[in-house]
Amino acid sequence: QVQLVESGGGLVQPGGSLKLSCAASGSIVSINVMAWYRQAPGKQRELVATAPSGGSTVYADSIKGRFTISRDNAKNTVYLQMNSLKPEDTGVYYCHAFVLSDSGRLSNYWGQGTQVTVSS
């Protein structure tokens, strides 16, 4: 089994910053892609940023230039540095990963989500 545990959410004023972390643990051989998604109230879950193991990062247009995704492969951890936050960034942020486990199976996993609220 593989678990993804997020941390770092909270309440921040517009223009402020937060850094989210997501640590993967369990029967992991390798992690192909780690990504962040978010879901605002009443809206569908949307992709925020992806960090492939050997490729370039990809960002949603709405957060380009403000958010940065990074990985620490030694720790099986992905981060999301969020700067210049806006009220429309409010939502639950979810970590997602495609993991090759020691069973030989490639599966996708989700974290439990962490709330980010941008409000004055």
Q: Which two tokens stand for residue 109?
A: 């996993």
Q: Give the pLDDT confidence of 2-47 residue by residue, as tens digits.
A: 999 999 999 999 999 999 999 999 999 999 999 999 999 999 999 9
Minimal CA–CA distance to 71: which of 79, 60, 61?
79
Q: Is the distance from CB of 70 to CB of 22 less than 8 angstroms?
A: no
The reported pLDDT for the residue numbered 28 is: 94
CA distances to 19, 36, 61, 76 from 24, rounded to whole Å, are 17, 13, 27, 5
Q: Which two tokens stand for residue 110?
A: 């989700």
The reported pLDDT for the residue numbered 53 is: 86
pLDDT at 1 over 90: no
The reported pLDDT for the residue numbered 78 is: 97
The reported pLDDT for the residue numbered 55 is: 77
Q: Give the pLDDT confidence of 40-74 residue by residue, as tens digits.
A: 999 999 999 999 988 799 999 999 999 999 999 99
